[in-house]
Amino acid sequence: MASLQFVIDSICSKLTPESMYRIINLRLGQGPFRVAEIIPMVQQEDRSLDYDSARILVDAALEALAERGDILVDGGSVFSPRRESNAER
């Protein structure tokens, strides 16, 4: 997938990569979540986004965070790698 900044620019969203990461990390602080749960939160931050555009942004942000090792994505669920490693002990 293209970089998150490229996707944001292509969709003409007012969001930044940092704001996308903040939204995801705030939600992750409450525990694991389904990808579909974060889409309305992104739409609240940028009310010009329709569902599909917000989903594209979420997917790009999740991919970037997963590549950095900040999150785990399994199917449609998002987890903190720290909680996963603690559960294995």
pTM for the model: 0.86
Q: How far, in Å, CA of 27 to CA of 29, rounded?
A: 5
82: confidence class by pLDDT, cuts 50, 70, 90 = confident
CATH number 1.10.1200.10 given to 4-88: no
40-65 per-position pLDDT tens digit: 999 999 999 999 999 999 999 999 99
> Going by C-beta distance under 8 Å and a sequence separation of 6 or more, which residues neighbour residue 78?
24, 28, 32, 33, 34, 35, 38, 62, 71, 72
Q: Confidence band (pLDDT; 50, 70, 90) for 15?
A: very high
Q: What percentage of the chain has pLDDT greater than the value 90? A: 84
- Count other C-beta atoms under 10 Å from residue 33's C-beta: 16
